[in-house]
Amino acid sequence: MSNTTSDDSLITTEVQADSNDDRAAPAAGTAVAARDLDVFYGDEQAIDDVTMEIPEKRVTALIGPSGCGKSTFLRCINRMNDMIEICRVEGDVEFGGKNVYDGDVDPVALRRKIGMVFQKPNPFPKSIRDNVAYGLKIQGFDGDVDARVEESLKGAALWDEVKDQLDSSGLELSGGQQQRLCIARAIAPDPEVILMDEPTSALDPVAASKIEDLIDDLAEEYTVIIVTHNMQQAARISDRTAVFLTGGELVEYDDTAKIFEDPEEQRVEDYITGKFG
Amino acid sequence: MATDNANADGFGEVSRVRGIVFEYLSLGASVFGLVALGVLLVYVAIDAFDLANASPEWLLTYFLTLVVPFLAFCLYSADDAAVTRRALGALGGGLVAVAALFTAIEALVVPIPRLNWQLAYLFVVAAPVTAYLAYVGSGGRVGAVGFGLLGRLVGGVAVGLAAGTLFLVFDPLLWFLAYTLGVLPAVGLYALGRLRSSPRAQTATVPVGLVGLVAAAFLREVVATYPSDLLIYLWTIAIPVAAAGALLVGDRRGRTAAVAVGGAPLVVATAGGFLASSAGLPAPTVLLVLVLTGVPTAVYVSRVVDAGEGLAGLGLPFLLAGGVIAGALVVQTFGFPTPEPWLDGSFLTAAPSRTPTDAGLYPAIVGSVIIIALVAVLSFALGVGTSVFLEEYTPGTGPLGTLTRILQVNVANLAAVPSVVYGLLGLGLFANLLGLGIGTAVTAALTLSLLILPITIISAQEAIRSVPDDLRRGSDAMGATRWQTTKNVVLPEAMPGILTGTILALGRAIGETAPLIMIGAATTVFRAPDSLFSRFSAMPMQIYTWAGFPQADFRYGVVAAGVITLLIILVGMNGTAILLRNRAERGS
């Protein structure tokens, strides 16, 4: 492990790729793949010809400076960009071998297979139980809802903290708990992929580290794609890292260890060491 | 200007004169407006209850038997020495101050008509202190129990009377069929679905209910024999209410308590209904009032006893009733002269008359209640529907977006159209073109709904817009359809705001006179409307007519009584709606 320390940076960005080696080795199948993806907001290009394959049951981090298109890329996967009227997508995004932008794909049905966690915790103003059961309710889940709620809250490492107050409002929880509640809500309908858009940037470091531990566990069962500003975080939790730079260009995409220790591109090294971005 | 000792005298001064002038001008204007309105209401109340002719002995008797015990109850509930000191100080000091000031004004400046210092003390000191103490007292457990019980008694009577009034115009036979074939099976199915947690039974609820309702509409003419009205109300309202009450209690306290809570009021109400029918009273209404008052009261008492706190509060209704009875006994024993209020039982139950003492408001009250009920349902459904469409469903760009913007601007403009113009529209559209009849209740309800619809829409839009987008995106990302997001996330969160707007708009609708004149509503009717298409009068119309009568008794006494009735009904209606809204707020 080589340290990439920049001398002229005030902040020591000493990042080390974590020991995610337990999952890194065997080649996994592809969960999501982008091919020649271009995204425009009006005339402005937000993503420029991105092609990448995201392995299943791994944590893939998307990093890059603000406005580089990483969140836009994330929202292409579950077609949340459809909500933005001026947004136009060209190219393919494959999920489970099917292009999600094909005419016969129902975006609502697609989103039921892909969970999403947002930057700011956004629990519904309902009870904790109803929050977690929301996806089950709208999908007409026909089984034991309470058991699934418990399972999801355990999966989000929140059960022990809230098991006695399932009927109190989700808004009464702390910020970190709210974000874990949102994760529980996302995994309750048992999706295949979980998208996370800077899930810890609104949280304090302790709450953030809990979420990071949780993400590590989630990758046992789910494909996790996480957008983050925090390079240490990307290094700690991800197996693969994609670096986007300004203009929506995917500059480098490789194993996390490789990106942080020995990147191919000078621009990536500059960005990671804080010289740029 | 920066000299060496520039800061020696502080940092100089910044003028705040304009801000201070503005502050005190605003305060003065608001206080002036409130005081003027307060004085008006005091005089209206004095006229309506003939308090100007009340003897001081009479006032003192009821003050001692009714007000003082109530104040003591509130103080006992508040259990706060500081509040007690303050209240006693205000009551005692107020007495001296009001008496001195009043006498001084009368002697030195000008005599004050129809008011004496006892009445002034009652309105200026005793009433605010009572209200304050009621507020403080309801914070304590005993007071909360007492007011909760009182609220259920009064609320039950009001809802029972309103429901009874509505059934004057709605076909009870149709309701009987609709309930038996549609509502009951649907509710049963839903409950079964919840119990067995089977969503299939729950999804079947709506179709089954609809089929039942349609079948009821068809069978209405086919079925020849129906049970009596009393039995219909017993079967469709009294028994379900009692069953719901029993279920609520049964969950926690077991079967005996449930049977007592549900069964006892039901038996009393049924007996009351049959007795009333033999005594010539409107039996179904008596039944409704008794069961709607009895069951919630019984449930509440059972809960309070269960919690075991503030049991003394249950005595509040007895305290007040005892105060009234004791006061009446004292007045009778000593032969104190009593006032003869214009606003009494017969005013509320009699038809209008040529003689002021016989005049009543009953047909107009019924007309207003029916119209308001229809307006509330229509404007709420249409208003929420339109605002959801405008806010959630239409895109911001493209031809549809342009259309939406045009609609928006026009809705905003419609809110400013004078109500006379809406009256004209109602006359042309509903009365003539659609043939709903000139001056009928349904025409009036539709016209008033149109009148307040823009206000409802705009406030509902505002409420929907204030729901954070985060929540919508969260729901969308879960794979919710737009309808599911709207229904499960947006509307519950926006409901308090929507209800606030609707309450304000309904307050306007109940007091409107001009559109009613335009659609040809009768100024006076002598029988309560018995169908949606019968001619009706509304309270503001009737009051307006009385105000034009030549006899002074009409213009002062009867009008005042009408105004107070209108205000009480308005406040009661708004109070109910605000309670509902607060519940919606707490639920979210």
pLDDT tens, position by position, B433-474: 988 888 888 899 999 999 999 999 999 999 999 999 999 999
Residue A11 is classified by DSSP as S
Instruction: Work out the burial of residue B160: count CB atoms within 10 Å of its CB; fewer than 13 is exposed, 13-18 middle, 19 or more buried.
Output: buried
pTM of the model: 0.80
Question: In whole angstroms, what separates CA B282 from the centre of its chain?
Answer: 23
Facing B478 at nearest CB: one of A86, A111, A144:
A111
Give residues with Cβ within 8 angstroms of B57, minimum separation 6: B334, B336, B337
Q: Which two tokens stand for residue A199?
A: 């899930």
The pLDDT tens digits for A11-46 are 444 555 554 545 544 556 888 888 898 999 888 888
Number of domains in chain B: 3
What is the per-residue pLDDT for B5? 61
Q: Which two tokens stand for residue A153?
A: 């809250």
Nearest to A115 by CA among A37, A40, A218: A218
Q: How far is A249 from chain B (nearest CA, A)?
A: 26
Interface test with B, best of A116, A122, A225 (most B CBs within 10 A): A122
Q: Which residues of B touch A130 (CB under 8 A)?
A: none
What is the per-residue pLDDT for A6? 42
Question: Which B-chain residues 356-415 have CB contacts (< 8 A) with chain A?
Answer: 395-397
The answer to whether residue B427 is domain-embedded is yes
Averaged pLDDT, B556-571: 89
Q: Are residues B453 and B330 in the same domain?
A: no
What is the per-residue pLDDT for B451? 92
- Measured at the CA of A258, the angle between CA A253 and CA A262, to 5 degrees, comes to 110
Q: Judge whether B492 is closer than 8 Å to chain A, CB to CB.
A: yes
The pLDDT tens digits for B495-520 are 888 988 888 898 888 888 889 888 88
Q: Judge whether B473 is closer than 8 Å to chain A, CB to CB.
A: yes
Q: Which residues of B touch A169 (CB under 8 A)?
A: 588
Angle between helices B199-222 and B184-195 (to 10 degrees): 170
Q: Is the pLDDT of residue B587 over 70?
A: no
The answer to whether residue B124 is domain-embedded is no
The pLDDT tens digits for B538-552 are 889 889 888 888 888
Q: Helix (H, G, I), strand (E, B), or coil: what is residue A39?
A: strand
The pLDDT tens digits for A197-237 are 988 888 888 888 888 888 888 888 899 999 998 888 889 89
Q: Helix (H, G, I), strand (E, B), or coil: what is residue A226?
A: strand
User: For residues B475 and B491, is the Cβ–Cβ distance under 8 A?
Assistant: no
Nearest to B455 by CA among B503, B494, B391: B503
User: For residues B401 and B395, is the Cβ–Cβ distance under 8 A?
Assistant: yes
Interface test with B, best of A138, A141, A198 (most B CBs within 10 A): A138
Nearest to B450 by CA among B518, B405, B531, B505: B505
CATH number at residue B516: 1.10.3720.10
Q: Is the pLDDT of residue B201 over 80?
A: no
What is the per-residue pLDDT for A8? 43
Q: Which residue of B has its CA nearest to A82?
A: B476
The CA-to-CA distance between both ends of chain A, in Å, stands at 24
Nearest to B439 by CA among B544, B539, B536: B536
Q: How far is B471 from chain A (nearest CA, A)?
A: 6
Averaged pLDDT, B140-157: 86
% of chain A exceeding 70 in pLDDT: 89
Q: Helix (H, G, I), strand (E, B), or coil: what is residue A202?
A: coil
The pLDDT tens digits for B36-49 are 999 899 889 988 88
Averaged pLDDT, B357-370: 86
% of chain A exceeding 90 in pLDDT: 14
Q: How far is A206 from chain B (nearest CA, A)?
A: 24
- Cβ–Cβ of B470/A118 closer than 8 Å? yes
Q: What is the set of domains in chain A, with CATH numbers?
A: 18-272 (3.40.50.300)
Give residues with Cβ within 8 angstroms of A88, minimum separation 6: A39, A40, A41
Q: How far is B213 from chain A (nearest CA, A)?
A: 26
Interface test with B, best of A119, A134, A152, A183 (most B CBs within 10 A): A134
What is the per-residue pLDDT for B313? 83
Give me chain A's average pLDDT, please: 84
Residue B152's pLDDT band (cuts 50, 70, 90): confident
Q: Are residues B360 and B335 in the same domain?
A: no
Q: Is the pLDDT of residue B347 over 50?
A: yes
Q: Which residue has the higher pLDDT, A185 or B163?
A: A185
HEC assignment per residue over B40-68: HHHHHHHHHCCHHHCCHHHHHHHHHHHHH
- Cβ–Cβ of B478/A120 closer than 8 Å? no
Q: Is the pLDDT of residue B416 over 90?
A: no
Q: Is the pLDDT of residue B94 over 80?
A: yes
Q: Are residues B224 and B302 in the same domain?
A: yes
Q: Are residues B197 and B334 in the same domain?
A: yes
Q: Is the pLDDT of residue A5 over 50?
A: no
Strand A59-63 relative to strand A240-245, pairing = parallel
At which of B310, B339, B368 does a domain end?
B339
Facing A78 at nearest CB: one of B468, B477, B484:
B477
What is the per-residue pLDDT for A25? 47
Q: Is the pLDDT of residue B426 over 80?
A: yes
The answer to whether residue B100 is domain-embedded is no
Long-range contacts of B240-244 (CB under 8 A, 24+ apart): B241/B291, B241/B292, B241/B295, B242/B266, B242/B291, B242/B295, B244/B295
Q: Are residues B32 and B150 in the same domain?
A: no
What is the per-residue pLDDT for B174? 83
A18-22, A213-217, B390-394, B426-430: segment of lowest average pLDDT: A18-22
Q: Is the pLDDT of residue A76 over 50?
A: yes
The pLDDT tens digits for A160-171 are 888 888 888 888
Q: Which two tokens stand for residue B113?
A: 């008509």
Angle between helices B127-139 and B68-78 (to 10 degrees): 30
**Length of chain B in residues, anyone?**
588
Strand A114-117 relative to strand A98-99, pairing = unpaired
The pLDDT tens digits for B233-248 are 888 888 888 888 887 7
What is the per-residue pLDDT for B378? 92
Q: Which residue of B has its CA nearest to A146?
A: B197
> How far is residue A149's CA from residue A166's CA, in Å, rounded to a whole number?
10
Q: Are residues B388 and B328 in the same domain?
A: no
Q: Which residues of A touch B488 (CB under 8 A)?
A: 124, 134, 137-138
Q: Helix (H, G, I), strand (E, B), or coil: what is residue B323?
A: helix
The pLDDT tens digits for B35-83 are 999 989 988 998 888 888 888 888 888 889 988 999 999 888 888 888 8
The answer to whether residue B348 is domain-embedded is no
Q: Are residues B200 and B276 in the same domain?
A: yes
Averaged pLDDT, B385-409: 86
- Cβ–Cβ of A139/B479 closer than 8 Å? yes
Question: Which B-chain residues 199-228 have CB contacts (< 8 A) with chain A?
Answer: 199
Can you say whether the dihedral through the CA atoms of A91, A94, A98, A100 is positive or negative?
negative
Q: Is the pLDDT of residue B27 over 90?
A: yes
Q: How high is the ipTM of this complex?
A: 0.84
Q: Which residues of B touch A78 (CB under 8 A)?
A: 477
% of chain B exceeding 70 in pLDDT: 97
Question: In whole angstroms, what separates CA B477 from the centre of its chain?
Answer: 41
Q: Which two tokens stand for residue B532?
A: 């949606």
Q: Is the pLDDT of residue B21 over 90?
A: yes
The pLDDT tens digits for B278-329 are 776 777 788 888 888 888 888 888 888 888 787 888 888 899 999 999 988 9
Residue A54 is classified by DSSP as E
The pLDDT tens digits for B467-479 are 999 999 999 999 8
Q: Are residues B294 and B415 in the same domain?
A: no
The answer to whether residue B428 is domain-embedded is yes
The pLDDT tens digits for B261-272 are 788 888 888 888
What is the per-residue pLDDT for B136? 87
What is the per-residue pLDDT for B260? 78
Q: Which domain holds residue B246?
A: 144-339
Q: Judge whether B488 is closer than 8 Å to chain A, CB to CB.
A: yes
What is the per-residue pLDDT for B199? 65
What is the per-residue pLDDT for A10? 43
User: For residues B422 and B450, is the Cβ–Cβ distance under 8 A?
Assistant: yes
The answer to whether residue B24 is domain-embedded is yes
What is the per-residue pLDDT for A17? 52
Facing A138 at nearest CB: one of B197, B395, B488:
B488
What is the per-residue pLDDT for A181? 92
Half-sphere exposure in the Cβ direction for B179 (13 Å, CA): 15
Nearest to B209 by CA among B188, B231, B230, B233: B188
Going edge to edge, which strands form the sheet with A249-255? A114-117, A193-197, A223-227, A59-63, A240-245, A249-255
Instruction: Work out the burial of residue A35: count CB atoms within 10 Å of its CB; fewer than 13 is exposed, 13-18 middle, 19 or more buried.
Output: middle
Counting one residue from chain A and one from chain B, the pairs whose CB atoms sit within 8 A come to: 75
Q: Which residues of A touch B468 (CB under 8 A)?
A: 122
Averaged pLDDT, A88-111: 88
What is the per-residue pLDDT for A276? 61
The answer to whether residue B344 is domain-embedded is no
Facing B479 at nearest CB: one of A83, A112, A142:
A112
Q: Are residues B424 and B535 in the same domain?
A: yes
User: A90 forms bridges with which residues in the sheet?
Assistant: A38
Phi, psi of B201 (to 5 degrees): -65, -35
The full DSSP string for A99-166 is: ETTSTT--HHHHHTTEEEE-SS----SSBHHHHHHHHHHHTT--S-HHHHHHHHHHHTT-HHHHTT-T
Q: Is the pLDDT of residue A60 over 60?
A: yes
Give me chain B's average pLDDT, please: 85
Q: Is the pLDDT of residue B148 over 60?
A: yes
Q: Are residues B431 and B574 in the same domain?
A: yes
Interface test with A, best of B198, B471, B478 (most A CBs within 10 A): B478
Q: Are residues B410 and B558 in the same domain?
A: yes
What is the per-residue pLDDT for A14? 52
Cα dist from A162 to A5, A110, A217, A271, B513, whole Å: 42, 30, 20, 41, 56
What is the per-residue pLDDT for B197? 65
- Cβ–Cβ of B471/A109 closer than 8 Å? no
Q: Are residues B378 and B245 in the same domain?
A: no
The answer to whether residue B184 is domain-embedded is yes
